[in-house]
Amino acid sequence: MLGGSFNPPHIGHLIMAEEAARQFGYDAVVLVPALVPPHKALRCDPGADARLAMVRAAASDWPGFTVDDCELRRGGVSYTVDTLDQLRTALAPGDGLGLLIGDDLAAGFARWKDPEGVAARCEIVVGRRSGEPVVGFPVPYRAADNLLVPVSSSLVRARVASGGAWMTLVPPSVAAYIVEHELYRCR
**Is the dihedral angle over the CA atoms 86, 82, 68, 91 positive or is it negative?**
negative
CATH architecture of 2-180: 3-Layer(aba) Sandwich (3.40)
Confidence (pLDDT) at 42 = 76
Is pLDDT above 70 for 92? no
pLDDT, tens digit (0-9, with 9 covering 90-100), for 2-13:
999 999 999 999
pLDDT, tens digit (0-9, with 9 covering 90-100), for 133-187:
899 999 999 999 999 999 999 999 999 999 999 999 999 999 999 999 999 998 6
Q: Which residues contact 143 (CB under 8 A, 6 or more apart)?
A: 125, 126, 134
Q: Which residues contact 62 (CB under 8 A, 6 or more apart)?
A: 14, 18, 29, 171
